[in-house]
């Protein structure tokens, strides 16, 4: 085999593919049967960014300086910005392949907008804001993508809401069908050594319909007509995958991955609202109703800490001398960090039972803490709670499905399924790592692994 | 996609950072799938120009030979990167005329900074008179008058210089790039654009 296809199923959890629906997904099953499969341990945080970028660049979030979907450019009081490809300074798999004159086809890989040059074709990920900015590399590839995608390639499906999220469901099917059609069109040309497609659809349906799947979800209704919405989408996705497998050049080795999985979300802990009540986060004028933390409204001189929400919260302390208007004296940095971690760890729910969050420090879990690293991270996974960064309204908890809280949360456990060439013998492991994917691909092409990469090939 | 070749010519005093910058730019262009060859003055003197000395004639011959190879590579779709002191303006311009698709990078660094840096210990020897005909000490260096790219290695970080070179090449259309400026700041982007406008490139 001389080509490699990396098919990403965004947020696909091991349980769906390996246990629950194994018999209903014959094409994924065929890749599994021919090769190896296992759980893929991901990053903390398990948000799309940094998870997928860590996979492509084979470095941990701290090394990449990417701790979540937003980035702080400096230790100042400016609102964090959405992470884009411009924040990815590390080389990715396709940079190394381009360097060795191998052709890559990269479709919808997270955090690839704006598109950066490579040898091959790149279609930017779901974060692409609109088509009036360049979204393919080379630019002219967009015409061919559009033509193969019914004239309107879709980056993402955003039609949440309405009584039943019906529109979203329609959109997701349409988006997936078009993306696979466009990808097949390019893959059929046999021009590419490395082909990668990441389908965001699984994540979107899971966020909207998990409540109908999981009897333990607080808003589960038995016998709901969307009871099989997620299952049915996976069956559809498997059929699309089947068509793609047929169209891939015969000398292609196929790997299916998810850089992260998913789990039920019972709601959210509103960390900034809690910090406000604890008088650690102060405002020039108190927020009247619930909304995102607006940095220009914060009274920074009186603020000691704030956080960015997500599946894992990134907590930042506001330290005098480090931040322009720090509320924590520099000498107290370490003691305050310990105190804040302890106070968060002691939080109980409304019935008094402790939330027992997992607290981790960047210097402990990463090999470096580049860029502006959070002072610590906190995750309430034991209670299946996400963390909301919104403030206002007074409540510390958001119930399942309240506000814009999704039904599903991300989880650091994804999958790897690889129909490997017979001569390559994969190592047997309980659990593989998101950092093992890039080394596997470079080794597949007999290329030397960069010394600073942290994973190892699967074989 | 078939990008055309061109020559990227680094000129500047010994120790100014030509080779370091050339190697970094080489990697970035390779990561974009381009064919790149480096002709390093020090290396070329061990093969292509073996036996040549440091008289003006020999220096000119050396630079013309490097230029000739760059010409062959460039016209065959390769990015030829030359890194040589190339102290004489006339012969650099001779190469420019021969090659056509030629981008001059002046790697500027004041002699007193280089003397202090003196990584190879050459300036100390030249100043002590142990080496004769050392460019910048007792041999002339003729600054480029209108280089496409000017990097000042005493004022910029290595990364900034590399970004400036790559971004300039993108804007000139020699290197495929994206719409967004990527790594360069807005202020830096405007400076680069101004220089290229002044030179009539954009």
Residues A21-68: tens digit of each pLDDT: 999 999 999 999 989 999 999 999 999 999 999 999 999 999 999 999
Query: Is B86 annotated as catalytic?
Result: yes
Whether chain B has a CB inside 8 Å of the CB on A118: the answer is: yes
| Domain CATH code at residue A87 | 3.40.720.10
For residue B1, pLDDT beyond 60: no
- Does one domain contain both A376 and A427? no
Residues A250-296: tens digit of each pLDDT: 999 999 999 999 999 999 999 999 999 999 999 999 898 999 999 99
Q: How many H-runs (helices) and E-runs (strands) does chain B carry?
A: 8, 5
Residues A175-209: tens digit of each pLDDT: 999 999 999 999 999 999 999 999 999 999 999 99
Closest CA to A274 of A344, A328, A342: A344
- Does one domain contain both A142 and A199? yes
Burial of A285 (0-12, 13-18, 19+ CB in 10 A): exposed
Closest CA to B148 of B127, B167, B131, B122: B167
Asked whether residue B165 is assigned to any structural domain, the reply reads no
Asked whether residue A93 is assigned to any structural domain, the reply reads yes
Asked if A96 and B178 come within 8 Å (Cβ–Cβ), the reply is no
- pLDDT of A144 reads 97
User: What residues in A contact B176, CB-CB < 8 Å?
Assistant: 117, 137-138
Residue with tokens 């906190």: A378
- pLDDT of B183 reads 61
Residue pair A184/A243 in contact (Cβ under 8 Å)? The answer is yes
Asked whether residue B118 is assigned to any structural domain, the reply reads yes
How is residue A353 written in tokens?
Answer: 């039972």
Half-sphere exposure of A353 (CA within 13 A, CB side): 3
- pLDDT of A426 reads 94
Number of domains in chain B: 1
Residue to mutate among A65, A96, A117, A137, with most B CBs inside 10 A, is A117
Residue of chain B nearest A85, judged by CA positions: B182
Asked whether residue A244 is assigned to any structural domain, the reply reads yes
| Domain CATH code at residue B129 | 3.40.50.300
- Does one domain contain both A364 and A252? no
Closest CA to A109 of A133, A86, A85: A85
Residue pair A113/A128 in contact (Cβ under 8 Å)? The answer is yes
Burial of A270 (0-12, 13-18, 19+ CB in 10 A): buried
Number of domains in chain A: 2
- Does one domain contain both A213 and A165? yes
Domain around A295: 267-405
Residues A84-113: tens digit of each pLDDT: 999 999 999 999 999 999 999 999 999 999
Asked whether residue B66 is assigned to any structural domain, the reply reads yes
Asked whether residue A449 is assigned to any structural domain, the reply reads no
Count of CB pairs separated by less than 8 Å, A with B: 47
- Does one domain contain both A169 and A233? yes
- Does one domain contain both A349 and A209? no
Asked whether residue A222 is assigned to any structural domain, the reply reads yes
Domain around B56: 6-156
How is residue B148 written in tokens?
Answer: 């496409």
- Does one domain contain both A419 and A360? no
CA–CA gap between residue A60 and residue A44 (Å, rounded): 9
Asked whether residue A121 is assigned to any structural domain, the reply reads yes
CA–CA gap between residue A397 and residue A31 (Å, rounded): 42
- Does one domain contain both A190 and A61? yes
- Does one domain contain both A240 and A309? no
Closest CA to B9 of B50, B31, B41, B42: B41
- Does one domain contain both A155 and A229? yes
Closest CA to B76 of B20, B125, B129, B36: B36
- Across the strands, what pairs with A256? A7, A417
pTM: 0.90
Asked whether residue A347 is assigned to any structural domain, the reply reads yes
Q: Angle at Cα B13 formed by Cα B9 and Cα B16, nearest 5°?
A: 85
Q: What percent of chain B clears pLDDT 90, i.e. is strictly above it?
A: 80
- Does one domain contain both A330 and A419? no
Q: Which of A239-243, B110-114, B193-197 has the lowest mean pLDDT?
A: B193-197
End-to-end CA distance of chain A: 15
Half-sphere exposure of B161 (CA within 13 A, CB side): 25
- Does one domain contain both A257 and A283? no
CA–CA gap between residue A14 and residue A17 (Å, rounded): 6
């Amino acid at each position: 085999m001389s080509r490699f296809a990396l098919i990403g199923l965004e947020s696909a959890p091991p349980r769906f593919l390996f246990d629950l629906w194994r018999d209903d997904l014959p094409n994924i099953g065929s890749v599994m049967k021919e090769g190896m499969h296992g759980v893929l341990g991901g990053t903390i945080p398990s948000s799309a960014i940094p998870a997928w970028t860590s996979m492509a660049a084979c470095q941990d979030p701290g090394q990449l300086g990417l701790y979540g979907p937003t980035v702080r450019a400096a230790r100042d009081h400016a609102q964090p910005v959405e992470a884009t490809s411009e924040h990815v300074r590390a080389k990715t798999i396709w940079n190394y392949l381009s360097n060795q004159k191998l052709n890559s086809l990269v479709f919808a890989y997270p955090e690839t907008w704006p598109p950066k040059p490579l040898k091959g074709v790149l279609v930017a990920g779901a974060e692409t804001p609109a088509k009036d900015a360049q979204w393919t590399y080379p630019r002219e590839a967009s015409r061919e993508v559009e033509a193969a995608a019914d004239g309107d390639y879709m980056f993402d499906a955003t039609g949440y809401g309405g009584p039943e999220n019906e529109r979203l469901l329609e959109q997701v099917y349409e988006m997936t069908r078009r993306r696979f059609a466009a990808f097949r069109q390019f893959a059929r040309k046999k021009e590419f050594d490395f082909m990668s497609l990441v389908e965001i659809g699984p994540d979107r349906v899971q966020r909207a319909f998990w409540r109908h799947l999981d009897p333990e979800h607080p808003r589960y209704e038995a016998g709901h007509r969307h009871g099989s919405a997620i299952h049915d989408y996976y069956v559809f996705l498997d059929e699309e995958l089947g068509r793609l497998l047929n169209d891939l050049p015969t000398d292609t080795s196929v790997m299916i991955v998810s850089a992260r999985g998913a789990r039920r979300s019972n709601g959210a802990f509103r960390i900034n609202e809690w910090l406000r009540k604890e008088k650690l986060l102060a405002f020039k004028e108190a927020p009247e109703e619930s909304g995102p933390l607006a940095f220009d409204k914060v009274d920074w001189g009186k603020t000691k800490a704030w956080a960015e929400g997500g599946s894992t919260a990134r907590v930042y302390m506001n330290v005098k001398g480090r931040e322009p208007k720090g509320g924590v004296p520099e000498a107290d940095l370490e003691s305050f960090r310990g105190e804040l971690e302890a106070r968060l760890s002691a939080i109980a729910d409304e019935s008094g039972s402790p939330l027992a969050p997992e607290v981790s420090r960047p210097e402990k879990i990463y090999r470096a803490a580049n860029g502006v690293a959070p002072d610590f991270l906190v995750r309430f996974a034991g209670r299946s709670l996400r963390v909301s960064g919104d403030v206002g309204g007074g409540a510390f908890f958001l119930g399942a499905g309240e506000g814009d809280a999704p039904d599903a949360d991300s989880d650091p456990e994804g999958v790897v399924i690889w129909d490997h060439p017979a001569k390559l013998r994969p190592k047997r492991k309980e659990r593989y790592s998101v950092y093992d994917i890039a080394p596997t691909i470079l080794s597949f092409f007999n290329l030397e692994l960069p010394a600073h990469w942290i994973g190892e090939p699967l074989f | 996609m078939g990008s055309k070749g061109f020559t990227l010519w680094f000129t500047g005093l010994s120790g100014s950072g030509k080779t370091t910058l050339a190697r970094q730019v080489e990697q970035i262009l390779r990561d974009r799938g381009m064919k790149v060859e480096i002709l390093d003055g020090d290396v070329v003197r061990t093969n292509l120009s073996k036996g040549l000395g440091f008289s003006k004639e020999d220096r000119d011959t050396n630079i013309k030979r490097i230029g000739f190879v760059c010409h062959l590579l460039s016209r065959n779709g390769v990015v030829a990167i030359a890194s040589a002191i190339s102290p004489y303006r006339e012969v650099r311009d001779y190469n420019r005329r021969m090659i056509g698709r030629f981008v001059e990078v002046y790697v500027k660094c004041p002699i007193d900074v280089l003397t202090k840096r003196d990584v190879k210990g050459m300036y100390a020897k030249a100043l002590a008179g142990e080496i004769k005909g050392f460019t910048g000490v007792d041999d002339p260096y003729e600054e480029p008058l209108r280089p496409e790219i000017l990097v000042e290695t005493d004022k910029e970080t290595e990364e900034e210089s590399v970004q400036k070179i790559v971004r300039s090449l993108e804007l000139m259309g020699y290197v495929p790039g994206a719409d967004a400026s990527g790594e360069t700041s807005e202020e830096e982007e405007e400076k680069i654009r101004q220089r290229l406008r002044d030179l009539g490139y954009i």
